[in-house]
Chain A
């Protein structure tokens, strides 16, 4: 009796702590968004931003803020949230800390299908259909699912070991990248360049339309993954334990992977393949709140958003006026972290 009281007390404390942490992270994100709004090739002062927001600013400031910077930042937040959550789900399902959708080929599968879709629909047509852009996330989703199925089938040999899953994933990634290169070469020069920039992860041409395309996916699948977080936590206890606790493990695995693929594919269709977010954000979150997915998923979602907004701000300012695709900045930050994890991880 005494003990159960104590443990529930402890739970309350952990819950409280993670709630405060989440609030703090959201505040941090808010501050970063403000900084990001102000910085860029045309820097704005806080007063200028305030004046524009209250409707007393100049027309050019209004244009810059509402049509260029704000959609871009909102998109960065959504993409970061989606990719980080997808990463947390993948790590949970495969029980492998190094499973990042970008490294195991989900991103390049989505990218390949998206580019193929664009290529086939714009081929021999002066007027591409109106639903061209709206269909993009779906094409990416099909690509992501096929990559996931391919990895799972190829890694299957009387069961799937996490290590084989990752090795096969690296191979699938290389295969899709090569296939992608072949498709790209059949495109015209300008399309080729656009595809190249898009694929290395960028949100330069963000617009409210792009935000609206991505938003439903995030709004549907993030709550779903929060709802499924309990199952993920149970899975971490090991397969036998999870089955003993009444979890239909294969079924749940497939459901969770579908959610993860949907989130990462939709994000890829909006911003291209940004690797390492799905890896770093869940790891940082685990450091902060521990391995329980009910707490881990929201914290890693916010962390992911912070990461992308920060990288995007850097991408715009470091080498201004030339812009760097945000995916490259994330890689430069993420690869060393990945290597650090690789060194310290126990196998």
Chain B
């Protein structure tokens, strides 16, 4: 008995020491704080940018002395702020899911859009629109979760059946095939049930016209999901050293994997339910965050959340300003940023 307890103690002790060695010291904290500051700044600037120009006085007044008869105040409160918050949240969600997926599969190409998770969500939303058109926002999110589960399940099923597991190439191909299948099915549903216009928005991806209630719902999920992700970070770091090592250090791998997949589903499902399929954020940001923050997920996860939020807020500003008064889908913009990055990774990893 005593011996076991001692063992446990030493395991905890080793874990702690390991974490200390892996932790980047102050630079990571400094970067994190300064990037949070930058994010807040971008978000505030973003309020003033758009089709109708809004001055700084209006922005400040809309908070301090809200006047419902002023058009700019209403625009700020009802249009700009919800969409900016939504963009930030969606970016953070997708980036964090990407980090967790890459950590779990040890596969640099794993990310929500490449693994077919986002198209799964979009498919289930199409089903919901066709068969249960009266669904409210909460129900839509539930459908979206189910779809995320469906997409992930299909890709992992392919992985578990194939002979040598999911190599990066196989993962990308399986994801492409699953996405193609689910997208075709959604389009067929959309055409037959005449809901193509309602659904096309979910395929293009964007945060225009997001309402404050949805942001609130997402905000609650964000809190839960991001806290859970943060709680997982230590185990994920240790698992990055190899499963044997992690087992030896007393990590319950099965349990951690289960919780991680759950977190990924919640975060991705929530993101898709509000903004549609926005690709490549979950692929690019984790790599950038790891470059900047080092290998400790305790820093990488919050780092990617902030970077992802920043990227999507910027992309949303671009979406509003490229071709006014029309909206450019955010999904297309993140695609244009993400593709060169993907190509870079492919060149690096596609050896042999």
Contact = CB atoms under 8 A, between A and B. Distances in A.
Contacts of A319: 188, 191-192
B158 A339 contact: yes
B323 A338 contact: no
A328 B187 contact: yes
B178 to A, nearest CB: 7
B278 to A, nearest CB: 11
B214 to A, nearest CB: 24
Interface string A156-187: 01000101101110111011011101100110
B323 A155 contact: no
B167 A347 contact: yes
Given A182-B328, A332-B184, A154 B177 contact: no
Contacts of A338: 173, 177
Nearest to B168: A167
A185 B324 CA distance: 12
Contact of B335 (A170, A175, A186): A175
Contact of B192 (A172, A181, A322): A322
Nearest to B114: A170
A129 to B, nearest CB: 27
A231 B331 CA distance: 43
B339 A167 contact: no
B181 A346 contact: no
A155 B187 contact: no
A272 to B, nearest CB: 13
A181 B188 CA distance: 20
B170 interface: yes
Contacts of A175: 335-336, 339-340, 343
A328 B332 contact: no
A185 B177 contact: no
Q: How large is the interface on B (under 10, 10 to 19, 20 to 34, 35 or more residues)?
A: 35 or more
Which secondary structure dominates chain B's binding surface? helix
A335 B181 contact: yes
A342 interface: yes
A338 B176 CA distance: 10
B238 interface: no
A167 B176 CA distance: 11
* Majority secondary structure of chain A interface residues (helix, strand, loop or mixed): helix
A324 interface: yes
Given A157-B347, A181-B332, A186 B323 contact: yes
A322 B191 contact: yes
Contact of A168 (B174, B335, B346): B346
B162 A343 contact: yes
B351 A178 contact: no
Nearest to A181: B332
A258 interface: no
A328 B181 contact: no
A200 interface: yes
B329 to A, nearest CB: 6
Contact of B173 (A164, A328, A342): A342
A324 B351 contact: no
A174 B185 CA distance: 19
Given A154-B343, A166-B169, A174-B339, A331 B332 contact: no
A167 B191 contact: no
Contacts of B335: 174-175, 177-178, 181
B192 to A, nearest CB: 5
B313 to A, nearest CB: 19
A163 B352 contact: yes
Contacts of A167: 168-169, 172, 346, 349-350
Contacts of A335: 177-178, 180-181, 184
B76 interface: no
A200 B187 contact: yes
Nearest to A169: B346
Given A155-B350, A339-B177, A181 B172 contact: no
Interface of A: 98, 103, 154-155, 157, 161, 163-164, 166-168, 170-172, 174-175, 177-179, 181-182, 185-186, 200, 275-276, 319, 322-325, 327-329, 331-332, 334-336, 338-339, 342-344, 346-347
Interface of B: 158, 161-164, 167-170, 172-174, 176-178, 180-181, 183-185, 187-188, 191-192, 204, 279-280, 323, 326, 328-329, 331-333, 335-336, 338-340, 342-343, 346-347, 349-352
Given A186-B323, A342-B174, 8 more contacts: A98-B173, A166-B173, A172-B343, A175-B336, A179-B332, A342-B170, A344-B162, A344-B163
19 contacts: A161-B350, A164-B346, A171-B339, A171-B342, A174-B339, A175-B343, A181-B332, A319-B188, A319-B191, A319-B192, A325-B187, A332-B188, A335-B184, A338-B173, A339-B177, A342-B162, A342-B170, A343-B163, A344-B163
Q: Which 7 A-B pairs have the closest CB atoms?
A: A164-B350, A178-B335, A335-B181, A167-B346, A175-B339, A331-B184, A181-B332
